[in-house]
Amino acid sequence: MTQSVQSVQRAVRILRELASAGPRLGVTDLAARVDAAKPTVHALLRTLEAEGLVVRDAETSKYQLGPELVFLGNAFLETQTLRTRSVVWAEALAAQTGEAVWVGVLTGERVLVVHHALRPTGALQLPEAGSSLPWPACALGKAIAAFAPCPERERLLAAARTRPAGTGPTDPAELAELATQLDVARTTGYAVEDQESALGEAGIAAPVFDRSGAAAGAIGLVGPRERLLADESRQRLAVAVRDTARALSRDLGAPRGCGARLAG
């Protein structure tokens, strides 16, 4: 490995540590976390700071993520074909159901929310586009995993077994239940999250397929459990989500067979 490649890898690790363990970390902490000498980490931080990727607190001399990352993140979201095509469908689904709608893609073992259609009425809401969640802790992730090829599904389940506490089910019985949930989602065409990411919150999501026939992501509703999963509304909302996912899949050029998966 060349020194320049190693430097890039260390810089990326610094950014990830600030994202996951921050909001502010000092040079000593970061050097220990990325297993590098303090002078090396300090030099990398100065370079990242010059590019706006990190900023240094004048009082504590600790570093945090910089504003340039917002620009880069937004640029990434704008290049997402699924996000671009989903805007109209997500807004229509939100208007039809009266609930907030998320559109997400799988990145590693996490789901990145690439679009958030706000609930049409109600209390103040914070846009969640750009948020990242462990895949087993949201309906979007379950919907994608349920329709993933077997090797990918097994990889995701294996990653779930070694996941840190507090990021989804870790008990063997809960992990077995997670696999069962994926089987059910593949049969029904939609997945459910019941208070796995936040107390009192729930989600209903269905996969969205691209022209290759692969699950490019998922679209779904998020909101209070008592509204989404109530006996009188759950099936109606699930049908609305499935129909929207099927229409969005057609918009992306998905083969006809993929749409049939969501017709149940």
**In the chain, domain spans:** 3-66, 80-261
Rounded CA separation 129/227 (Å): 22
- Give the pTM: 0.72
**Superfamily of domain 80-261, CATH level 4:** GAF domain (3.30.450.40)
Contact indicator for 145, 205 with CB cutoff of 8 Å: no
Correct CATH for 3-66 of 3.60.140.10, 2.120.10.30, 1.10.10.10, 3.90.1150.10: 1.10.10.10
DSSP string, 112-161: EEEEEEPPSSSS-----TT-EEEGGGSHHHHHHHHTS-HHHHHHHHHHHH
pLDDT digits (tens), the chain, 264 positions: 577 778 888 888 888 888 877 678 888 888 888 888 888 888 888 888 888 888 888 888 888 888 887 767 666 655 567 888 899 999 999 999 999 999 999 988 889 899 999 888 866 677 677 788 899 999 999 999 999 988 988 888 888 876 544 445 556 677 788 989 999 999 999 999 998 878 889 999 999 998 888 899 999 999 999 999 998 899 999 999 999 999 999 988 888 766 444 544
Q: For residues 2 and 9, give the distance between their C-alpha atoms in angstroms, rounded to a whole number.
A: 11
